[in-house]
Amino acid sequence: MIFQSELDLKVARIDVLNETLKRFHLVSAGGEFLPPAPPGSHLTFLLNPRDGEVIKNSYSVVSPTLIRDHYEIVVRKAADSRGGSKFFHEDVKEGNLLKAKAPRSNFSVHSLARKSILIAGGIGITPIISLLDEIKRRRCKVELHVICGQSDRLALEALLADEALAGPNFYEGRNNCSIGKILAGQPLGTHLYICGPFNLMRHVQEVAHELGYPSSNVHIESFGATIGNAFNVKVEGLNKEISVGESESLLETLEREGIEAPFSCRGGACGQCVVRVVEGEVDHRDFFLSDEQRAAGNCMTPCVSRASGRALTIAIK
Amino acid sequence: MDAMISRPRYDRLSLGLGRTHLLIIQGSELPLGCLASSVTLDDFDEIWKVVSCSSVLPEPGSAEKQFRSANHLTIALCHRLSSETMGLRVYVVGEESFVWDINAQCRRFGLGNDEIHVFAPYHGARRVRCAHCRAYTTNCQNTIVTCDGCGATLLVRDHFSRFWNAYQGFQIDSEEPGVVPESVAFRS
Amino acid sequence: MTQFKIDETFRDDYTFRNSDGAILRFPFPFEQDDYMYSFNVELHRKGGPTGAYENYFDIDEHYVSECRERALVLLQDPSRCLVLDHMESAEWDTLELIMECLASDYPEHFELHRDPDSWRWINRPLEIEHSFIFGDRSTLPCSPFEYITRQAQGDFLLQDHRNNNLYIDGGMVTSQADWSLEFDVGMSFIEWHAPVPLAHEMGVFESAVNYLMQMEYGIPVRRLNWTMTVNPRLDTSQENYPVWGPDRRTITRQNIGSKLHLRVELQAAWRLPRSNAILFSVRGYLASLDDISRVPKWARRLHRVIKNLHPEIADYKGISGYRDLVTEHMAQFDDGAPTSPGTQPDTKTLI
Ligand code: FES
């Protein structure tokens, strides 16, 4: 169903693409249809590599967006892996069960684009693949440029094999690719989608800006997107200090800790969830509080707002 | 009647970032007060004008081109846009219905919000679309007009559609035939 | 299992009537004894103060008749369904969402079978059975958006999300409260709401756009809106204002109870997955003043709300002409007793 926020997935098949890349086919553990994976989306896994330890890792869904009976993800084994990609490469076996949050995307396809240029750096190709699928469904002109190391080229080419695309352009290494050449002389209504290392994305943005691309035509995906900073919270009257992670809201943390907190919209609009702030600075991200209330600094909406520093003390009515 | 938020407000033109800046003027002179104080005519790479004269020719290659009518200019503009590349900025000065016509053409060729800027220094007369029969009544000077299509007595609302390039009119005496408020001239 | 009333009309002889069950499940809109615009959103989850909230897309006893009325409006004015070309992906998203919800919430009425390359859709109440290829519009008799919204109750709007803004780039609108999709198509969310008084100064729409733009799919939200309508007429469009406008002058002391209707819209907003557009489902409900007065709490409250309503809001909703008559009529049901907070009827039987 479409309305699931947490998924139980079963590993149906694992393909080894090369020494560092593996593709995982995931189906719903209960056999039902999965929520659609939006173009450019990722799954955030809640992994348990060792007892008592939970780590969160996000990987892009590379299967076409119309497919509802399975997801495919590609995981690169990172040299300095803190556990996620190592766990996937060494411990995950066919038939294993994994928990993940429903797929989310930071990319979306611009509906008025007359041409799309996709630029990927290395494994940054992964969110681009489903984006390409959606763009082609819209019958929009498209070019794909992939910059990668020599050792990955074959595997990445294989990943794109299903995409029946006239000539993806491969460049072995950044020095062999002139972004200026790609971007110059493109027709009106061209949109750029970039995913890769920070420096590449920054460079493309700069070149595009110089050539007169409006910023609304340049779309970038920062990998491993988080919601914000991590911080600690004391709840007055409860003898407890809780820590809010980078990818969860304060409201979610309260709920996870079994602390009862009111809410309605969960998006900073209704004000149902407002709590009193006893100590600490708040990074207000809601649409509800007035400027005066923000300035006074004694309340916040835990569904979206965070600490601007490392710690907060709050009181729940 | 308070101004509605959908009614366009125009900011004096200032130059954004871009490769080529094309200024389009309905008329042979730029009216005073169209440009922001930091901008002069020299800042534009090209200026196209509608001069309302049957014998002018747009000179190829020259930075300033003259056109006989709005349609004459629009035909040339569409031709140009079909082969243009990213980095073009278009600026339009003229009557309200002219600037939104040019705006619509540019959007057809992929220009977005940041790539086209319009300024209508005088927008007293309105083009009105009847909510009921969908006919246009042009050059409306007052809040109450008779629809060119169905003959209804329309109240012209301040509600403007960029898509239709028109204000909305609806039959004001639908509930009580003949009961019509006083007609007021639009301020420009 | 819902028993459908298959031959109700919403024009001419107006045979529409609510059964007792339909009155009790009406989404009465007033939380308190007074009313002002607010950004009253909550998550659209199954369940709420009345039966109208039980499912994602509510199907009730008027389903068959409302679909017939929609088809009639479209015959007279095809532009009531209008979707700009760049919204095709959102059209398929809408079809998938509505079919999936209806089939799982009302298996006795709807079925959806998905084979890898062909879908089969069965709609028993409307006697439709059709196989098609998802994503291929040539396999449907009309556009995917029109196809599915002809088979659902309420109006539907598509908002494109681009350039950090929302644009109303499509819709199926045959039962609206005095506005025109055709005129407003392509407008930004703020331009579209320009004619609404007071709320702009309150910043309601800026907040709404910002809130909607951060919505995630799979987590729909809802709010209620209301107005009043003379006769149980669904098509109170701006296009046809000259047709129904004169009805507003027909309210008398004698006929007000059966002729005047409280009209409530249960508006839900859904992020769509592939297009990233936002779908609004605007599910309308009608209840006559006679219907309302059979629930004592609602009758008391309606009297108080209308009596104290801000005049500009009354004007905008088009009820100024008969407002005093409503207050006078409803006064007989208001003994001054306090009302409980919330919109639930507080009764299982009607008086
Ligand atoms: S739950 Fe609505 S503002 Fe937090």
Say yes or no for a CB contact (<8 Å) between B170 and C238: yes
Contact between B68 and B45 under an 8 Å Cβ cutoff? The reply is no
CA of C204 to the centre of ligand 1 (A): 15
The answer to which of A99-103, C34-38, C330-334 has the lowest mean pLDDT is C34-38
Say yes or no for a CB contact (<8 Å) between C194 and B158: yes
How does DSSP classify residue B64? E
- List of residues 6+ apart from C51 with CB closer than 8 A: C21, C24, C25
pLDDT for A80: 59
A288 contacts in chain C (CB < 8 Å): 39, 207
Kindly name the residue from C17, C114, C137, C223 that is annotated as catalytic: C223
Query: How distant is the Cα of C110 from the closest Cα of chain B, in angstroms?
Result: 37
pLDDT for C35: 86
- What confidence tens digit (pLDDT) does each residue in C179-215 have? 999 999 999 999 999 888 777 777 788 888 989 998 9
pLDDT for C13: 96
State the SS3 of C211-267: HHHCCCCCCCEEEEEEEEEECCCCCECCCCHHHHHHHHHCCCCCCHHHHEEEEEEEE
- What confidence tens digit (pLDDT) does each residue in B39-96 have? 999 999 999 999 999 999 999 889 999 999 999 999 999 999 999 999 999 999 999 9
Choosing among B80, B86, B115, which should be mutated to test the A contact, i.e. which has the most A CBs within 10 A? B86
pLDDT for B142: 94
State the SS3 of B112-152: CCCCEEEECCCCCCEEEEECCCCCEEEEECECEEECCCCCC
CA of C211 to the centre of ligand 1 (A): 10
Q: Is C122 contained in some domain? A: yes
Closest approach atom of ligand 1 to CA A286: 3
Q: Round to whole Å and give the CA distance between C79 and C174.
A: 10
Task: Kindly report the average pLDDT of chain C as a whole number.
Answer: 95
pLDDT for A84: 78
Query: How distant is the Cα of A214 from the closest Cα of chain B, in angstroms?
Result: 6
Say yes or no for a CB contact (<8 Å) between C240 and B132: yes
A303 Cβ inside 6 Å of ligand 1? yes
CA of A275 to the centre of ligand 1 (A): 10
End-to-end CA distance of chain C: 25
- Residues of chain B whose beta carbon is less than 8 angstroms from a beta carbon of chain A are 17-20, 81, 84-89, 109-115
- Tell whether the model's pLDDT for residue C314 goes beyond 80: yes
Per the model's pLDDT, the better-predicted residue between C131 and A227 turns out to be C131
**Number of domain units in chain C:** 1
Closest CA to A148 of A179, A177, A127: A177
pLDDT for C117: 77
A265 Cβ inside 6 Å of ligand 1? yes
Look at ligand 1, atom 3, and give the residue with the nearest C-alpha. A268
Closest CA to C6 of C55, C68, C59, C82: C68
Express as a percent the part of chain C with pLDDT over 90. 87
Instruction: Return the structure tokens found at A43.
Output: 């799954």
A268 Cβ inside 6 Å of ligand 1? yes
CA of A307 to the centre of ligand 1 (A): 16
Say yes or no for a CB contact (<8 Å) between B85 and A189: no
Instruction: Return the structure tokens found at A289.
Output: 């509080």
Nearest CB to B114; choose among A183, A211, A216: A216
pLDDT for C153: 98
Query: How distant is the Cα of B112 from the closest Cα of chain A, in angstroms?
Result: 7
Q: Which of A254, A265, A293, A305 to mutate to test the pocket of ligand 1 (most atoms within 8 A of CB)?
A: A265
Q: Is A294 on the interface with C (CB under 8 A)?
A: no
pLDDT band at C2 (very low <50, low <70, confident <90, very high): confident
Query: How distant is the Cα of A207 from the closest Cα of chain B, in angstroms?
Result: 12
pLDDT for C298: 98
Lookup result for tokens 């695309």: A165
- Tell whether the model's pLDDT for residue C42 goes beyond 50: yes
Say yes or no for a CB contact (<8 Å) between B85 and A186: yes
CA of A270 to the centre of ligand 1 (A): 5
pLDDT for B1: 44
A170 Cβ inside 6 Å of ligand 1? no
Query: How distant is the Cα of B39 from the closest Cα of chain A, in angstroms?
Result: 19
Q: What is the DSSP string of C276-289?
A: --EEEEEEEEEEEH
Say yes or no for a CB contact (<8 Å) between C194 and B152: no
- Tell whether the model's pLDDT for residue B21 goes beyond 50: yes
Q: Round to whole Å and give the CA distance between A300 and A268.
A: 10
- Residue in chain A nearest C220 by alpha carbon: A3
Chains with at least 3 CB pairs less than 8 angstroms from chain A: B, C
A274 Cβ inside 6 Å of ligand 1? no
Give yes or no: C150 in active site: no
Contact between A72 and A62 under an 8 Å Cβ cutoff? The reply is yes
Q: Which of A255, A260, A270 to mutate to test the pocket of ligand 1 (most atoms within 8 A of CB)?
A: A270
- Tell whether the model's pLDDT for residue B112 goes beyond 70: yes
Nearest CB to B132; choose among C192, C242, C321: C242
Give the start-to-end residue ranges of the domains of chain B. 20-119, 126-171
- Tell whether the model's pLDDT for residue B162 goes beyond 80: yes
Say yes or no for a CB contact (<8 Å) between A212 and B113: no
Domain range spanning residue C251? Answer: 20-331
pLDDT for B2: 54
Q: Round to whole Å and give the CA distance between B44 and B55.
A: 25
Q: Is C339 contained in some domain? A: no
Say yes or no for a CB contact (<8 Å) between A270 and C41: yes
Q: Which of A250, A255, A272 to mutate to test the pocket of ligand 1 (most atoms within 8 A of CB)?
A: A272
A4 Cβ inside 6 Å of ligand 1? no
C99 contacts in chain A (CB < 8 Å): none
Global ipTM: 0.93
Report residues of chain A scoring pLDDT below 70. 1, 52, 79-83, 162-167, 222-227
Say yes or no for a CB contact (<8 Å) between C275 and A102: no
